Structure 1
């Protein structure tokens, strides 16, 4: 039985209202621009005969005849397919499935364009990681290029991993006059248990096993097509898309290559056609995604102990839809959002275990019943979110939805609001004389959440490995890895450091990390103050630190401070290291303009500004002033 929505939690209501008020002017401008684009024409009917002939020249005769008619829908497919990355390899067959399903509905679909998809798992600790965050904005621009032909009545967005879904979302928002359907590929089946994988990584960091043993463990973990099964940014993406009603109910964590996955992709195509203007039930993105949907995404992220990367991505995603959020919104919502999931690194289970325990249908049921999310938002399913307590089934080959379980089938993985794993969400903001940052605490044991120790400064993550191997870190220590922000070097993830710091913690030392870079979406057991803003290169106080300074990180109190007299700290000079080695090689020189334009972490660390003309003019004026 579907839940009836109770009154909304007071804090959720207050934060939503504050976001709405804060965003009123830019949101009104966004809606006006999307409505204007709709009035100008959302599909091929606005093209000249020459334009249209180019647009369907490569199609078969049946599709050409259909495209000549202006009363049927033509879907644009934007895909992150490549066959190197496990999460996106299954997307290879999706376009043909979509085209066949569209033809069966008397409509058409065309592959509008591909977007790049890079893997942080491949580039972790490598120079290529410095392109990772900026790839989000490249993906958004590539999405815009693909859809710029104005041939389409709706769009299907095929992507899964870290920067890909946020980039696709930003692109979809700027084509917000089109209905949008996000179509996932699903996680790979479970492999080597996460606890065993982490154990082998730490043994390798200590030199107790060789590279052959490490490679074998990693290969058994990441072993087939599909998304990695730990709960990092990729799976957080899928959860948030469903929380915003951009997925079909229950579609996020169905394994690839299954009959159910195929059926969901066909139904997504059919529903996208129904949601188009020719389909008769016009549901454009801009009328679907507002501040309520963004709040739902934040609450879902917090309740699940999701990726820290979304304290950047969600800010940028919301901005693309004319909505302004900040880290205070995350903190206030975290205070009233209970922790309901324990999936690695927050526990030992993986995302397949979560799906088996009740999955998204039960998570929706719990959050709706507790009044923690807006259940009344429109969705791509043609309903509000109360229908998302259902999950899909196949009956004689036909896709149907039935109510999901009302209780968890494994309370060690997925629990209830009445008996949460913790009373508050998994993310919080740190503030103090070192700036503002975020920390993921859902995987950090309470006894490790407060660390006060001398610091050791690094300006390259590889230097930390050397210091560890030399025994220089065998003590209570806070590692400060600075000049890792978007302006300095693109803000790479520093997950490569996790095994070394984890070993030190296991040896009984008080250990923490402080950085203006990112940590993995699977940030683990070592407390890590990340995304420190402003970054060291951009006037940030991390540039004033010296080796041996005493720093206190208190995740419980939400503070991060260097223990120096105020006068001494205020008068200390900033030191800027040599960053040239970050800016050339592996294409990094092509991203100089991105580094120049990059906004601060709390503003989303993107390059697009606020998407309003006055913001862009301000950025151009700033560049001219700096050049002068």
Structure 2
């Protein structure tokens, strides 16, 4: 099935814009692939170092050129729930590789930090840059030139985008992404949010808050709300990097292990040594990137991907823009209601039909490109399934259900929750920003109120505690961009702003920082660029200036006479406290070289 005209036209303009960079990129991929099995170029000393700890049988296999070697890049650590399950995956992958007549080695590990642990802490200022560091770390692991294909073990916020950048940088190698799955359902996310607001108001103590948080985040797997981590899993499946039906299967289950082994065998089947060679750099093209954006809109996914998808696309020589993302949002209906866009969690979403049902519905109206390459070897129609555990640990796939298992969680294409994806781009005399409105009530899609300016999120929290914010206002939180302090997420602002909104005040947030996949019921214009530290107009806003955030018409403005605004001196902020502690001094060059949010906030491009 072909994509409809709107999707095709947007894809065509991305292709045209990317001609030169994509051609250069593919030239490099083809040159690398043409060299064949890369162990053949290693000297005997090189190769001996590369398989020194292997078994005699594996050494014999790797001495020649006929047996494929599968590299494993892992984000395992046992502190973070989402990545702890990966501890057992290398053994499963080695076993599967032997069964398939190949060899598997852990090529390297990459760091995996959790924004949930570092929220509001100094370490959060490393978070966004960890994406590019992860790409670099994966590159180090793959630089040994020992591998015919790669499996990437990663789940969470910056890890998967970083691994995707690495996979496309090593685009001559096939790449299969292997998820760990979400934790089982715990305390409902809306109840967790309620307790957080009560704590912000001083109505419950730390003991009650910790109890609620612990019941919500209670075991192995990703957090169950639909934030960046679970948006990552959706993206990898819709873009064809996952095996069909694998994204939201819980860890520690026989089906999860079977899918992991299947992924390893498939990664070996698509090397240059076989007849289905699928290098990642050729497989992922403009159509794949557009499919990812469509999936993001249809599910109300994380705002972080307005940066990550740009950086991933650029790694493949594809020039995606915020305008492309915005135009696709206008064309794609919202089909999922998963917290914070609804009450369900990702386990409910998966049980109601999940990604297989979602893809099936979008394909009905030509809202996805079906004619793409995937690691499964077929177009996206092959992903309209439900994966099951078959006999002897094999995987069977049944067609996705014809109707949703829960129409309150996942809708049909004929009866969407809303006509657009809820991710809007804003522009005006303050620059460009992003707003997510899928969880914002329609009467709050346009906010006009006086500014109260803060140069730090702690200032806003203190003003709330002091009772100084009981009014209509737009909280302007600036000097939070990539160059200022690494662009930390500002989740700790959500409870106080939510409390004020519930009290009946008209409130919104305007920031050059991030809010991510947990952006919720309070209107938040985020990722504003140019940022304050780069001389952006946000640095000229003063207390009392009227700010208009219009998600209906895509506008963001400070209602000040243009001549007066131009004549104002931009505010400065003392950022010295961001330069040291918790490793921040190691990332000074990242801050200095970071690009703007609308180019992916990357140190590479």
1:176 paired to 2:171: yes
Of 483-492 and 34-43, more deviation after overlay is shown by 34-43
Matched residue, 1:535: 531
Matched, 1:109 2:104: yes
The yes-or-no answer on 1:405 pairing with 2:401 is yes
User: How many aligned residue pairs are there?
Assistant: 604
Measured after TM superposition, the shift of residue 8 of structure 1 is 2.1
Give the whole-Å Cα distance in 2 for the aligned partners of 1:550 and 1:17.
Answer: 40
Asked whether 1:581 is paired with 2:577, we answer yes
Match for residue 465 of structure 1? 461
Counterpart pick for 1:504 among 488, 500, 506 = 500
One of 363, 367, 371 as aligned partner of 1:368: 363
Matched, 1:50 2:45: yes
SS in 1 for 2:309: helix
Contact kept in structure 2, 1:42 and 1:178, CA below 8 Å: no
Tell whether the 8 Å contact from 2:128 to 2:488 is kept in structure 1 after alignment. yes
Q: Which residue of 1 aligns with 2:565?
A: 569
Post-superposition shift, 1:279?
A: 3.1
Residue 461 of structure 1: how far off its partner (Å): 0.7
Partner of 2:241: 246
Give me the CA root mean square deviation: 0.8
Tell me how far apart the structure 2 counterparts of residues 246 and 167 of structure 1 sit (CA, whole Å): 14
Counterpart selection for 1:75 from 60, 70, 76: 70
Of 328, 336, 340, the match for 2:335: 340
Q: How far apart are residue 128 of structure 1 and its match?
A: 0.4
**Cα separation, 1, equivalents of 2:124 and 2:453:** 21
**Partner residue in 2 for 1:619:** none
- Does the aligned pair in 2 maintain the 1:331–1:429 contact within 8 Å? yes
Q: Report the equivalent of 1:379.
A: 374
CA apart distance, 1:454: 1.0
2:4 aligned residue: 9
- The more displaced of 449-458 and 163-172 is 449-458
Cα distance in 2 for partners of 1:566, 1:392 equals: 58
Q: In the TM superposition, what is the alpha-carbon distance from 1:395 to its structure 2 partner? A: 2.3
User: Contact 1:306–1:426 at 8 Å: present in 2 too?
Assistant: no
1:445 is matched with: 441
Decide whether the 8 Å contact of 2:352 with 2:409 is kept in 1.
yes
**Cα distance, 1:42 vs structure 2:** 4.4
Q: Which residue of 1 aligns with 2:554?
A: 558
Q: Which residue of 2 aligns with 1:614?
A: none
SS at match of 2:34: helix
Are residue 395 (structure 1) and residue 390 (structure 2) matched?
A: yes
Report if aligned partners of 1:105, 1:270 keep a CA contact under 8 Å in 2: yes
Alpha-carbon distance, 1:391 to partner: 2.0
Contact 2:37–2:65 (8 Å) recurs in 1: no
Q: Are 1:546 and 2:523 matched, yes or no?
A: no
Which residue number in structure 2 is paired with residue 623 of structure 1?
A: none
Shift of 1:10: 1.6
Q: What is the rounded CA distance, in whole Å, between the counterparts of 1:451 and 1:436 in structure 2?
A: 17
Q: Does 1:119 align with 2:109?
A: no
- Name the SS of the counterpart of 1:335 in structure 2: helix
One of 157, 163, 167 as aligned partner of 2:152: 157
How far did 1:11 drift? Answer: 1.4
Assess if the C-alpha contact under 8 Å between 1:42 and 1:177 holds in 2. Answer: no
Residue 555 of structure 1 and its aligned partner are, at CA, apart by 1.1
Greater Cα offset, 274-283 or 441-450: 274-283
Check the 8 A contact 1:327/1:429 in 2, yes or no. yes
Verify the 8 A CA contact 2:430 2:557 in the aligned structure 1.
yes
- 1:104, distance to aligned residue in structure 2 (A): 1.1
Aligned mate of 1:222, from 217, 223, 248: 217
Q: Which residue is 1:615 aligned to?
A: none
SS in 1 for 2:572: coil
Helix, strand or coil for the counterpart of 1:40? Answer: coil
3-state secondary structure, aligned to 1:552: strand
Displacement of 1:43 in angstroms is 2.5
Matched with 2:205 is 210
Distance 1:160 1:334 in 2: 25
8 Å contact 1:481–1:514 — kept in the other structure?
Answer: yes
Contact (CA 8 Å) 1:343, 1:354: kept in 2 or not? yes
Alpha-carbon contact 2:199-2:206 (below 8 Å) kept:
yes
User: Any idea what SS the aligned residue of 1:382 has?
Assistant: coil
Q: 1:42 to 1:21 in 2, by over 3 A?
A: farther
1:27-106 matches, cutoff 5 A: 27-106=22-101
- Residues 57-78 of structure 1 show CA distances to partners (whole Å, capped at 9, x for unaligned) of 0111221121112101100000
In the other structure, the counterpart of 1:255 is 250
Preserved contact between residue 36 and residue 272 of structure 2 (Cα < 8 Å): no
Residue 133 of structure 2 is aligned to residue 135 of structure 1? no
Contact 1:11 1:332 survives alignment (8 Å)? no
Aligned to 1:242, what secondary structure does the other structure show?
A: helix
Alignment of 1:241-320 (within 5 A): 241-320=236-315
Q: What residue in structure 2 maps to residue 592 of structure 1? A: 588
Distance of 1:71 and 1:433 partners within structure 2? 61
Structure 2: gaps spanning 5 or more residues: none
Task: Give the Cα–Cα distance (whole angstroms) in 1 for the partners of residues 407 and 137 of structure 2.
Answer: 42
CA contact (8 A) 1:78 1:111 kept: yes
Q: How far apart, CA to CA, are the structure 2 residues paired with 1:395 and 1:222?
A: 31
| Cα distance in 1 for residues equivalent to 2:221 and 2:450 | 43
Residues 1:520 and 2:516 are matched in the alignment = yes
Separation (CA, whole Å) in 1 of partners of 2:527 and 2:518: 15
Please tell me whether residue 478 in structure 1 is matched to residue 470 in structure 2.
Answer: no
CA distance in 2, matches of 1:303, 1:426: 9
Residues in 1 aligned to 2:307 and 2:52: alpha-carbon distance in whole angstroms: 41
SS of alignment partner, residue 552 of structure 2? coil
Deviation string 1:469-496 (CA, Å, 9 cap, x unpaired) is 1111100011011000000100000011
Which residue does the alignment assign to 1:616?
A: none
SS in 1 for 2:127: helix
> Bigger CA drift: 358-367 or 271-280?
271-280
Quote the offset at 1:520 in angstroms. Answer: 2.7
Contact 2:182 2:251 in 1 (8 A): yes
Partners of 1:304 and 1:426 within 8 A in 2: no
| Contact 2:297–2:421 (Cα < 8 Å) also in 1 | yes
Counterpart Cα distance in 2 of 1:600 and 1:520? 16
Q: Deviations over 1:14-44 (max 9, x none)?
A: 1100000000000000000011111234431
